[in-house]
Structure 1
Amino acid sequence: MTETGSIQFGTTTIRYTISFSPRRQKVAIAVYPDTTVTVTVPTGTSPEKVRDLVHRKAPWILEQIGAFDHLAMMDASKEYVGGETFLYLGRQYRLKIVTGEEKPSVKLVGGYFVVTVPAGVRPEEQRDLVRCTLCAWYKEHALQRVREVVRTYARRLHLDPPEVRIKHQLKRWGSCTKDGVLNVNVLILMAPMSQVEYVVAHELCHLRHKDHSVEFWDLLRLVMPDYEIRKERLRKEGWRYVL
């Protein structure tokens, strides 16, 4: 079960989600790369007690949010020029731009993303062309990979594989619509497969349990016993996944 809350600290509003856990004995505050704040507390903890704790920890929370904002700004400035690095399934590949074919294309060759652009493309147009070509490649391959993982975990959950849509989302790694469609962030293709599997398994479990209830987490643990490790790694490393 979850609730939401907020406090005012100076001129800043800090919004947070309260997650109640019967297994939790102490209160834990987590700030994620998307700057969301989650407070995990033992079942029965009053919202007032959580509010007081968040207020006491507000300087630390704002410091973490500021650090993630700074990292995001640093890494978000992709120029799409030769020599830049891009992640794919946890590995770094350098971007190499060549001219030749009439249609732009992307190939993985050794440790390089080789993007071919048509000869005669003006320098001011090349950046956008490389960006669009690379983004299309990521979406295509994300759909293939995610569908494979969906089939695997849908079998474990005794579900029919749902429709998958790949999107470029700012705040979520995945979501599940009321119609049972799985939306997955294209940026997850930059993560190791263990994190891709976590996002897919998490969303598939929502087809059984819509909220983050005890039953939801128990089901996720059943099909993925080490989900907490994968979740934590995604939380720590997710800020690096920028396209």
Structure 2
Amino acid sequence: MEYQLILSARRKTIALQVRNAKVIVRAPTFVTSAYVESFIQTKQHWLLQKIAEQKNSHALTPPFTLKFSGEQLENNPTVYIDGLPHRVLITFGRQNIVHDPLEHSLTVILSARYKNHDLNSAAILAKVKSQIEYWFKVSVEAYVKKKVDVFSQQLSLYPSSFKVRKYKSRWGSCNSRDELSFNYLLKMLPAWVVDYVIIHELCHLKHMNHSTKFWLLVAKYCPEYQTAKNWLLENQAHLRWA
């Protein structure tokens, strides 16, 4: 079985994850390849079941795509924003800009010069996606900054810095320098789930692991953390951004 192996000196135990129908193994640096292979074999039935479930789910929910008929979008593409699906509307104007969502729709205005392109070209798709991603990043940076200040006061835990960028397989992270990182695709999640991710990473400033003490600290400041984790699992097929 193919898998991605991620080794960490901070980990004490081995863990398996299936994301986008691919197996991810997170393990301590002292674990041998033979042990990893053996561990995967013991969990093979569960892994195959999860892979099949995610493949079926992904087949029903393709990544964000565009298809034009004339100057109109033909396939009614949607993107999740704040936990809800929004139709993507495209118009042409003087500059490239994304309007804040209104009535479950997101409007992307492309420069009029793009009218001269084949609207189904890779260039158009790339431009629309880059505009939305930039808007994601700006929105998430503002939200995270506000919430980190609030939650840091509550927890008495203060990061040295934080940054927002795109990650393929994680919503946030914390390193040994007390630096936090967050995925700008958090804009796709409800605010209360984003709050859980922020609190989760702040708690790593005290516990750089997922021990019982860590989860007790998370639960103290985010009692609905398990509901947030379940929301992420249940909606992962809708949170795809290829």
TM-score, normalised via structure 1 length: 0.75
Query: Which digits, 9 at most, give the CA deviation of each residue in 1:186-221, with x for residues without a partner?
Result: 222111112111111111000011111221111111
Match of 2:219 in 1: 221
Tell me if 1:87 matches 2:80: yes
Choose the corresponding residue for 1:127, options 119, 125, 129: 125
Choose the corresponding residue for 1:68, options 54, 70, 75: 54
* Closer, same or farther: CA 36–144 of 1 in aligned 2, 3 Å: farther
Counterpart CA distance in 1 for 2:183 and 2:149 is 18
* Closer, same or farther: CA 161–181 of 1 in aligned 2, 3 Å: closer
Counterpart CA distance in 2 for 1:119 and 1:37 is 44
Q: 1:225 Cα deviation (Å)?
A: 1.7
Using the aligned pairs only, state the percent identity: 23
Counterpart CA distance in 2 for 1:181 and 1:73 is 37
Query: Which digits, 9 at most, give the CA deviation of each residue in 1:59-106, with x for residues without a partner?
Result: 2321212332453465453223532111111111111110111x2000
Supply the AA of the counterpart residue of 1:60. Answer: W
Choose the corresponding residue for 2:105, options 99, 112, 126: 112
Counterpart CA distance in 2 for 1:148 and 1:32 is 32
Counterpart CA distance in 1 for 2:194 and 2:3 is 30
* Closer, same or farther: CA 113–197 of 1 in aligned 2, 3 Å: same
C-alpha contact (below 8 Å) 2:2/2:23 kept by paired residues: no
Counterparts of residues 38-49 of structure 1 (less than 5 Å): none
Tell me if 1:146 matches 2:139: no
Q: 1:56 Cα deviation (Å)?
A: 5.5
Supply the AA of the counterpart residue of 1:88. Answer: I
| Residue aligned with 1:98, SS | strand
C-alpha contact (below 8 Å) 1:105/1:115 kept by paired residues: yes
What root-mean-square deviation, in Å, do the aligned CA atoms of Structure 1 and Structure 2 show? 3.0
Choose the corresponding residue for 2:191, options 175, 190, 193: 193
Counterpart CA distance in 2 for 1:169 and 1:69 is 21
Counterparts of residues 15-34 of structure 1 (less than 5 Å): 32-34=18-20
C-alpha contact (below 8 Å) 1:80/1:131 kept by paired residues: no
C-alpha contact (below 8 Å) 2:157/2:206 kept by paired residues: no
Supply the AA of the counterpart residue of 2:88. Answer: L
Counterpart CA distance in 1 for 2:180 and 2:128 is 28
Supply the AA of the counterpart residue of 1:179. Answer: R
* Closer, same or farther: CA 128–216 of 1 in aligned 2, 3 Å: same
Match of 2:175 in 1: 177
| Residue aligned with 1:120, SS | helix
* Closer, same or farther: CA 235–77 of 1 in aligned 2, 3 Å: closer
The alignment covers a number of residue pairs equal to 212
C-alpha contact (below 8 Å) 2:18/2:47 kept by paired residues: no
Gaps spanning 5+ residues in structure 1: where?
A: 1-11, 21-28, 39-47
Match of 1:58 in 2: 44
Counterpart CA distance in 2 for 1:213 and 1:30 is 16
C-alpha contact (below 8 Å) 2:89/2:106 kept by paired residues: yes
C-alpha contact (below 8 Å) 1:93/1:113 kept by paired residues: yes
C-alpha contact (below 8 Å) 1:105/1:116 kept by paired residues: yes
Counterpart CA distance in 1 for 2:212 and 2:130 is 42
